[in-house]
A and B are shown apart, each in its own frame.
Chain A
Amino acid sequence: MVIGIVMSFKELTQFYIRDWGTAPWSGLSNYRVSVDFDAPVGQALLHSFFVTVAFTLLSVGLCWLIGTAAAVYMQDTFAGRGLLRALFLVPYALPVYAAVITWVFMFQHDNGLVNHVLHDQLHLTGKPSFWLIGDNSFYALLTVSVWKGWPFAFLIVMAGLQNIPRELYEAAALDGAGMWQQIRRITLPSLRPVNQVLVLVLFLWTFNDFNTPYVLFGKSAPEAADLISVHIYQASFVTWNFGTGSAMSVLLLLFLLVVTGVYLALTSRGRRTGDV
Chain B
Amino acid sequence: MRSIRAAAVGAVTMSLALAASACGGGSSSGGGSNDSPKTLTYWASNQGASIAVDKKVLQPELDKFQKQTGIKVKLEVVPWSDLLNRILTATTSGQGPDVLNIGNTWSASLQATGALLPWDAKNFAKIGGRDRFVDSALGSTGAEGKDPAAVPLYSMAYALYYNKQIFADAGISKPPATWAELVADGKKIQAKGKSALGAEGSNLSENIHHVFVFAKQHGADFFTADGKADFTNDGVVTAVKQYVDLMAKDKVIPTGDAEYAQNQSVSDFAKGKQAMLLWQSAAANLKSQGMDASAYGIAPVPVQSGTPGTGTQVNSMVAGINLAVFKNSHNLDGATKFVKFMTSDEEQKILNTAYSSIPPVKAAQEDATFNSPSNAVLKDTLAKSAAALPQVADESQFETAVGTAVKDLFADAAAGRAITTDSVKSALEKAQQQMPAK
Chain A residue contacts of B12, Cβ below 8 A: 200, 204, 260
B261 at the A interface (CB under 8 A): yes
Which of A14-22, A72-80, A117-125, A161-169 lies at the binding interface?
A14-22
| A15 and B112 in contact, given A40-B434, A220-B204 (Cβ under 8 angstroms) | yes
Which of A148-156, A179-187, A245-253 lies at the binding interface?
A245-253
A47: min CB distance to chain B, Å: 11
A134 at the B interface (CB under 8 A): yes
Question: Across the interface, do A134 and B415 meet the contact criterion of CB distance under 8 Å?
Answer: yes
Interface centre among A18, A132, A200, A238 (most CB of B within 10 A): A18
B229: min CB distance to chain A, Å: 12
Give A134 to B255 CA distance when docked, in angstroms: 12
- Besides A5-B21, A40-B433, A249-B21, 15 other A-B contacts (C-beta < 8 A): A1-B18, A4-B20, A17-B88, A17-B113, A40-B434, A44-B434, A108-B259, A110-B256, A130-B411, A236-B23, A238-B400, A239-B434, A253-B20, A256-B16, A260-B13
**Can you report 24 A-B residue pairs in the complex whose CB atoms are below 8 A from each other?**
A3-B21, A4-B21, A14-B113, A17-B25, A18-B28, A18-B114, A18-B115, A19-B28, A21-B27, A40-B433, A44-B434, A108-B259, A130-B259, A134-B414, A134-B415, A220-B204, A220-B407, A239-B396, A239-B397, A239-B434, A240-B396, A240-B397, A249-B20, A261-B9
Q: Tell which of A1, A13, A44, A222 touches B17, judged by Cβ atoms closer than 8 Å.
A: A1
Question: Across the interface, do B436 and A241 meet the contact criterion of CB distance under 8 Å?
Answer: yes
Give A94 to B240 CA distance when docked, in angstroms: 42
Question: Across the interface, do B88 and A1 meet the contact criterion of CB distance under 8 Å?
Answer: no
B85 at the A interface (CB under 8 A): yes
Q: Tell which of B17, B256, B408, B434 touches A41, judged by Cβ atoms closer than 8 Å.
A: B434
Q: Tell which of A3, A135, A240, A261 touches B25, judged by Cβ atoms closer than 8 Å.
A: A3
**Which residue on chain B has the smallest CB distance to residue A234?**
B400
A219 at the B interface (CB under 8 A): yes
Q: Tell which of B16, B114, B115, B400 touches A253, judged by Cβ atoms closer than 8 Å.
A: B16
B38 at the A interface (CB under 8 A): no
B124: min CB distance to chain A, Å: 23
| A222 and B411 in contact, given A132-B259, A241-B436, A253-B16 (Cβ under 8 angstroms) | yes
Question: Across the interface, do A2 and B259 meet the contact criterion of CB distance under 8 Å?
Answer: no
Interface centre among B21, B113, B201 (most CB of A within 10 A): B21
| A252 and B261 in contact, given A17-B88, A17-B91 (Cβ under 8 angstroms) | no
B92 at the A interface (CB under 8 A): yes
Question: Across the interface, do A219 and B21 meet the contact criterion of CB distance under 8 Å?
Answer: no
Chain B residue contacts of A110, Cβ below 8 A: 256
Chain A residue contacts of B24, Cβ below 8 A: 1, 3-4, 7
A219: min CB distance to chain B, Å: 7
Question: Across the interface, do A257 and B20 meet the contact criterion of CB distance under 8 Å?
Answer: no
Q: Tell which of B92, B256, B434 touches A109, judged by Cβ atoms closer than 8 Å.
A: B256
Give A211 to B153 CA distance when docked, in angstroms: 35
**Which A residues have a C-beta under 8 Å from some C-beta of B?**
1-5, 7, 13-15, 17-21, 39-41, 44, 108-110, 130, 132-135, 197, 200, 204, 208, 218-220, 222-223, 234, 236-242, 245, 249-250, 252-253, 256-257, 260-261, 264, 268
| A240 and B88 in contact, given A134-B415, A220-B400, A260-B9 (Cβ under 8 angstroms) | yes
Per the 8 Å Cβ criterion, residues 303-346 of B in contact with A are: none
Question: Across the interface, do B109 and A237 meet the contact criterion of CB distance under 8 Å?
Answer: no
Give A220 to B202 CA distance when docked, in angstroms: 9
A248: min CB distance to chain B, Å: 10
Give A190 to B356 CA distance when docked, in angstroms: 68
Give A218 to B205 CA distance when docked, in angstroms: 13
Chain A residue contacts of B434, Cβ below 8 A: 40-41, 44, 239
B5 at the A interface (CB under 8 A): yes
B157 at the A interface (CB under 8 A): no
| Interface pairs A-B: 10 shortest CB-CB | A4-B21, A3-B24, A40-B433, A1-B21, A133-B411, A1-B17, A110-B256, A253-B20, A220-B404, A134-B411
Chain B residue contacts of A5, Cβ below 8 A: 21
Chain B residue contacts of A238, Cβ below 8 A: 396-397, 400
Chain B residue contacts of A4, Cβ below 8 A: 20-21, 23-24
Per the 8 Å Cβ criterion, residues 1-48 of B in contact with A are: 5, 8-9, 12-13, 16-21, 23-25, 27-28
A138: min CB distance to chain B, Å: 13
Question: Across the interface, do B408 and A223 meet the contact criterion of CB distance under 8 Å?
Answer: yes
A144: min CB distance to chain B, Å: 16
Chain B residue contacts of A41, Cβ below 8 A: 433-434
B275 at the A interface (CB under 8 A): no
B271 at the A interface (CB under 8 A): no
Chain B residue contacts of A261, Cβ below 8 A: 9
B430 at the A interface (CB under 8 A): yes
Chain A residue contacts of B201, Cβ below 8 A: 133
Give A2 to B401 CA distance when docked, in angstroms: 30
Give A237 to B397 CA distance when docked, in angstroms: 10
**Which residue on chain B has the smallest CB distance to residue A44?**
B434
Give A108 to B115 CA distance when docked, in angstroms: 40
Question: Across the interface, do B430 and A40 meet the contact criterion of CB distance under 8 Å?
Answer: yes
Q: Tell which of B5, B23, B113 touches A15, judged by Cβ atoms closer than 8 Å.
A: B113
Chain B residue contacts of A21, Cβ below 8 A: 27
Question: Across the interface, do B20 and A130 meet the contact criterion of CB distance under 8 Å?
Answer: no
**Which residue on chain A has the smallest CB distance to residue B94?**
A18
Give A3 to B88 CA distance when docked, in angstroms: 17
Question: Across the interface, do B114 and A252 meet the contact criterion of CB distance under 8 Å?
Answer: no
**Which residue on chain B has the smallest CB distance to residue A111?**
B256
A42: min CB distance to chain B, Å: 11
B267: min CB distance to chain A, Å: 11
B393 at the A interface (CB under 8 A): yes
**Which residue on chain B has the smallest CB distance to residue A109?**
B256
Question: Across the interface, do A14 and B112 meet the contact criterion of CB distance under 8 Å?
Answer: yes
A60: min CB distance to chain B, Å: 16
B181 at the A interface (CB under 8 A): no
Question: Across the interface, do A13 and B436 meet the contact criterion of CB distance under 8 Å?
Answer: yes
B412 at the A interface (CB under 8 A): yes
B258 at the A interface (CB under 8 A): yes
Give A236 to B24 CA distance when docked, in angstroms: 12
Chain A residue contacts of B5, Cβ below 8 A: 264, 268
**Which residue on chain A has the smallest CB distance to residue B92?**
A17
Give A238 to B433 CA distance when docked, in angstroms: 15
A203: min CB distance to chain B, Å: 11
Chain B residue contacts of A19, Cβ below 8 A: 27-28
Chain B residue contacts of A109, Cβ below 8 A: 255-256, 258-259, 414
Question: Across the interface, do B20 and A250 meet the contact criterion of CB distance under 8 Å?
Answer: yes
